[in-house]
Amino acid sequence: MPATSKEFHPFKAVAIDLDGTLLSHDLTISAANLAAVDALHANGLEIILASGRHHISMLPFARQLPQVNWMVSAQGSFAASVDRATVLYDNHLPTEKAASIIDIGRSAGYSVVVYAKGGIFCFEENEWTDYYTDLACVRPTLTDKETILKESIFKVALVGPEEQVDAAENLPGVLAWDLYKVRTLKNLLEFAGLGTSKAHGLKPLLAHLGIDASELAAFGDAPNDVQMFDLAGYSVAMESGWDEAKAAADSISPAGPPESAFARAVGVLRDCVNGGRRD
């Protein structure tokens, strides 16, 4: 990796969330955000994408960013090179817990989406699987419980109306499991095994790159970014993001068009460095 220039010294890497951060509402990357990624890369920083998305649904965006070699996906359950030739973290939801969440969710009337090593899966097609398809840019593959439980499962998501998802954390049976739970959208609650978070996925990746966590800057907008913010040497939350993320971040991007929030957040990082608040 090239030596980092003084413009962003002492940072050597950035971890960038996708939805609500790098991506616009229409799931495109604006010219301003592309230019911001270029500026970071030109200064020698390693560009890491870190998302709740499955690795396969991150690929279309990674292919627009030739600067990206590494991705942390599935809420941090999986960390690998873009081509998946090098896997540095691979954390699974225990099969019995995945089976229980699937049963509880389906019996309570939720649409259930499963992230497994082989892709994204569902058990029926309806308006909520259509919603998830629009969100993930990948249509889940229809399967059955017996088949999916043979897979290595990263996470199980319950999808439905906001009021129904509000109650999902208190479903009988779910409270008995010691799980990672996160809600980053009003219509979606996700369950994964312990050892899941973007921070968990980033740690072995940073070690592989020889980069200390203090040399990482993180950008995000949602509760699933909080542990990543805690890990990083500096963090910036998007101004339009969740209150939990903004409370956890070191800084918040200035107000402005949401499609260029990330570019403004990079400006915050540059100002932080130039203001002498870093060694």
Task: Kindly give, in sequence order, each residue whose CB lies less than 8 Å from that of residue 225, ignoring residues fewer than 6 positions away.
Answer: 17, 50, 198, 218, 235, 237, 245, 248
Q: Within its chain, how far is the Cα of 52 from the centroid?
A: 3
Mean pLDDT of 187-216: 97
Q: Which amino acid is at 221?
A: D
Lowest mean pLDDT of 86-100, 101-115, 136-150, 263-277, name the range: 263-277
**pLDDT tens for each residue of 223-236:** 999 999 999 999 99
Among candidate residues 234, 93, 218, the one with its CA nearest the CA of residue 157: 93
**Tally of CB atoms within 10 A around 243:** 9
> Sorting pLDDT into bands at 50, 70 and 90, what band is 28?
very high
Task: Give the 3-state secondary structure of residue 247.
Answer: helix
Q: Do residues 114 and 32 make contact, with C-beta atoms less than 8 angstroms apart?
A: no
User: DSSP 3-state helix, strand, coil percentages of the chain (rounded to 5)?
Assistant: 40, 25, 40
Among candidate residues 210, 77, 81, the one with its CA nearest the CA of residue 156: 77
Predicted local confidence at residue 213, as pLDDT: 98
Parallel, antiparallel or unpaired: strands 46-50 and 13-16: parallel
Burial of 41 (0-12, 13-18, 19+ CB in 10 A): middle
For the chain, what is the radius of gyration of the CA atoms? 18
Lowest mean pLDDT of 25-39, 79-93, 177-191, 254-268, name the range: 177-191
Q: Give, as one character, the DSSP assignment of residue 97.
A: H
Tokens describing residue 189: 């609650």
Alpha-carbon distances, residue 225 vs 51, 157, 178, 183 (angstroms):
9, 18, 20, 11
Q: Do residues 165 and 115 make contact, with C-beta atoms less than 8 angstroms apart?
A: no
pLDDT > 70? residue 279 = no
Predicted local confidence at residue 276, as pLDDT: 54
Task: Kindly give, in sequence order, each residue whose CB lies less than 8 Å from that of residue 124, ignoring residues fewer than 6 positions away.
Answer: 111, 142
Instruction: Kindly tell me the sign of the dihedral angle through the C-alpha atoms of 125, 128, 134, 136.
Output: negative
> Mean pLDDT in the chain?
93
Q: Do residues 87 and 79 make contact, with C-beta atoms less than 8 angstroms apart?
A: yes
**pLDDT tens for each residue of 55-79:** 999 999 999 999 999 999 999 999 9
Predicted local confidence at residue 170, as pLDDT: 82
Task: Kindly give, in sequence order, each residue whose CB lies less than 8 Å from that of residue 22, ignoring residues fewer than 6 positions away.
Answer: 16, 29, 33, 37, 49, 61, 219, 262
Could you tell me what percent of the chain has a pLDDT over 90? 88
Sketch out the chain's domains with CATH numbers.
13-89+196-274 (3.40.50.1000), 95-192 (3.30.1240.10)
Mean pLDDT of 177-187: 88
pLDDT > 80? residue 163 = yes
pLDDT > 80? residue 195 = yes
Tokens describing residue 269: 């990082």
Task: Kindly give, in sequence order, each residue whose CB lies less than 8 Å from that of residue 260, ignoring residues fewer than 6 positions away.
Answer: 30, 32, 33
Predicted local confidence at residue 154, as pLDDT: 97
Tokens describing residue 193: 């095994």
pLDDT > 70? residue 204 = yes
> Sorting pLDDT into bands at 50, 70 and 90, what band is 4?
very low
Global pTM value? 0.93
pLDDT > 60? residue 175 = yes
Query: Would you put residue 219 in left (φ > 0), alpha (ψ -120 to 50) or beta?
Result: beta
Q: Which amino acid is at 123?
A: F
Predicted local confidence at residue 5, as pLDDT: 55
Predicted local confidence at residue 17, as pLDDT: 98
Task: Give the 3-state secondary structure of residue 88.
Answer: strand
Predicted local confidence at residue 121, as pLDDT: 98
